[in-house]
């Protein structure tokens, strides 16, 4: 069901997903726990944002002093560039400002800034704003210049433009924390960065559940809305980052292969054992907690393994090639005519290929 939601979002170019304050706080706190000064003296950019509604802007503005920020910059898209336009009304925040322009409010993006030393106060009420010259697209020279100024970029970028957005960040090797679909892991633009330890997954959403509000929620139907919160609930969203956090270095506790066969909670393993792929020189491990501690060869694990990945414990070898060859050369037999692992000639869903690091 979660996959269906993101496929629908991509199909209708629905990129209007607003992240919950608690989810932002939970993720950012993980970086602060590892390094309390991670944001100190830094300029933080929140592009692809909607400062009047976004919890990203609220969170960083409210914690400006606590984090020791140098500058906070938040930019928004123009209304006319969004999928959702019907019934748009500017907020009182904008209309009561002497800067308000009834034409620009629809065609131009906005920029909000909070800078240390410019005012007596440094909180959300001290944010200064003005219209951008353009529509606020992150690819514009105007917003790209803000990227170049920033030290750290944090946002929930458009799902339909995730590849472009990540490339835009990496072009200047910026520190970042952004939200994306976990299946992005196997994109040719993403996986090499993960394999080479340039980026990794963040702490993640509590219980693996990401909740978003969206003005287009009705397009999905009631079957995809969470009954309790009334929000869209995703099971396959994660944080991508290159900021360190403690969870990334927690060793995964594992049993031996023999003990897994005896005691595993998974019926696919207990009393059955493990299988090797028909066309890959690797062991199929269908669950992260079933990785045998004493197997020295290559193992194929679910992409959700990266939520538990400790680079001190494992080495990433390759991945299922969903978009062309190149991620697992030397592992699969080309005569099988498929770069997806097979068991009894049946395709196995996307896999990351790993092995234990030598001690």
Dump the DSSP string for 145-201.
Answer: HHHHH-SEEEE---GGGHHHHHHHHHTTT-EEEEEEEGGGGGSTTTHHHHHTTS-EE
Q: What is the distance between the alpha carbons of residues 318 and 304, in angstroms, rounded to a whole number?
A: 14
In this predicted structure, the answer to whether residue 240 has a pLDDT above a threshold of 70 is yes
In this predicted structure, the answer to whether residue 9 has a pLDDT above a threshold of 50 is no
In this predicted structure, the answer to whether residue 326 has a pLDDT above a threshold of 60 is yes
- pTM over 0.75? The answer is yes
Q: What is the distance between the alpha carbons of residues 5 and 7, in angstroms, rounded to a whole number?
A: 5
Q: What is the distance between the alpha carbons of residues 50 and 18, in angstroms, rounded to a whole number?
A: 9
Residue positions counted in the chain:
359
Query: What percentage of the chain exceeds 70 in pLDDT?
Result: 86
Domain spanning 2-249 has what CATH number? 3.40.50
Work out the pLDDT band at 321, boundaries 50, 70, 90: confident
In this predicted structure, the answer to whether residue 28 has a pLDDT above a threshold of 50 is yes
Average pLDDT score over residue span 147-160: 95
Lowest-pLDDT range of 77-81, 290-294, 303-307:
77-81
Query: According to the model, what pLDDT value does residue 298 have?
Result: 97
* Matching residue, tokens 């991670």: 38
Q: What is the distance between the alpha carbons of residues 109 and 78, in angstroms, rounded to a whole number?
A: 4
Q: What are phi and psi of 355, to 5 degrees?
A: -150, 160
Work out the pLDDT band at 148, boundaries 50, 70, 90: very high
Average pLDDT score over residue span 64-90: 79
Query: According to the model, what pLDDT value does residue 228 have?
Result: 73
Lowest-pLDDT range of 179-183, 237-241, 283-287, 331-335:
331-335
Average pLDDT score over residue span 84-112: 75
Work out the pLDDT band at 11, boundaries 50, 70, 90: very low
Work out the pLDDT band at 324, boundaries 50, 70, 90: low
In this predicted structure, the answer to whether residue 225 has a pLDDT above a threshold of 80 is no
Average pLDDT score over residue span 63-87: 81
**Which segments of the chain belong to CATH 3.40.50?**
2-249
Query: According to the model, what pLDDT value does residue 356 have?
Result: 97
Tell me the pairing of strands 43-49 and 71-76.
parallel
- Residues contacting residue 233 through CB under 8 Å, at least 6 positions apart: 2, 209, 210, 211, 224, 225, 226
- Tell which wins on pLDDT, 231 or 33: 33
Work out the pLDDT band at 152, boundaries 50, 70, 90: very high
Query: According to the model, what pLDDT value does residue 6 have?
Result: 47
In this predicted structure, the answer to whether residue 331 has a pLDDT above a threshold of 70 is yes
Q: How high is the mean pLDDT of the chain?
A: 87
Work out the pLDDT band at 147, boundaries 50, 70, 90: very high
Of 242, 142, 216, 184, which is closest to residue 3 (Cα–Cα)?
A: 184
In this predicted structure, the answer to whether residue 73 has a pLDDT above a threshold of 60 is yes
- Tell which wins on pLDDT, 99 or 319: 319
Would you give the DSSP letter of residue 344? T
- Count of CB atoms within 10 A of residue 248's CB? 19
Angle between helices 141-149 and 162-170 (to 10 degrees): 50
Query: According to the model, what pLDDT value does residue 345 have?
Result: 93
Tokens, residue 244: 């360190």
Average pLDDT score over residue span 185-195: 92
Work out the pLDDT band at 205, boundaries 50, 70, 90: very high
| Residues 64/28, Cβ–Cβ less than 8 Å | no
pLDDT tens, position by position, 335-353: 888 888 999 999 998 999 9
Strands annotated E in 195-235: 200-201, 210-213, 232-234
Angle at alpha carbon of residue 44, lines to 43 and 46, rounded to 5°: 145
């Amino acid at each position: 069901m979660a996959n269906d939601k993101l496929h629908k979002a991509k199909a209708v170019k629905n990129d209007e997903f607003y992240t919950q304050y608690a989810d932002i706080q939970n993720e950012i706190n993980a970086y602060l726990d590892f390094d309390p000064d991670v944001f100190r003296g830094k300029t933080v950019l929140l592009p692809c944002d909607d400062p009047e509604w976004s919890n990203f802007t609220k969170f960083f503005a409210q914690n400006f002093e606590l984090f020791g920020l140098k500058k906070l910059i938040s930019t928004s898209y123009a209304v006319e560039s969004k999928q959702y336009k019907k019934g748009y009304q500017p907020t009182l925040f904008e209309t009561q400002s002497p800067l308000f322009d009834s034409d620009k409010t629809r065609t131009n993006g906005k920029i909000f800034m909070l800078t240390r030393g410019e005012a007596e106060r440094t909180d959300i009420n001290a944010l200064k704003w003005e219209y951008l010259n353009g529509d606020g697209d992150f690819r514009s020279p105007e917003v790209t210049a803000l990227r170049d100024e920033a030290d750290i970029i944090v946002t929930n970028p458009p799902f339909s433009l995730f590849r472009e957005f990540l490339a835009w960040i990496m072009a200047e090797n910026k520190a970042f924390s952004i939200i994306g679909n976990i299946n992005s892991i196997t994109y040719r633009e993403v996986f090499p960065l993960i394999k080479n330890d340039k980026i990794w997954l963040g702490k993640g959403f509590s219980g693996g559940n990401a909740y978003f509000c969206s003005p287009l929620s009705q397009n999905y139907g009631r079957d995809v809305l969470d009954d309790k919160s009334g929000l869209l609930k995703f099971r396959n969203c994660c944080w991508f980052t290159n900021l360190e956090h403690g969870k990334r270095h927690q060793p995964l506790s594992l049993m031996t292969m023999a003990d897994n066969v005896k005691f595993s909670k998974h019926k696919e393993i207990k009393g059955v054992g493990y299988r090797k792929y028909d066309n890959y020189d690797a062991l199929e491990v269908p669950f992260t907690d079933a990785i045998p501690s004493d197997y020295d060869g290559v193992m194929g694990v679910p992409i959700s393994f990266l939520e538990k990945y400790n680079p001190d414990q494992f080495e990433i070898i390759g991945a299922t090639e969903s978009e062309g060859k190149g991620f697992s050369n030397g592992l699969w037999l080309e005569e099988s005519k498929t770069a997806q692992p097979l068991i009894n000639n049946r395709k196995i869903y996307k896999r990351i290929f790993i092995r234990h690091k030598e001690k």
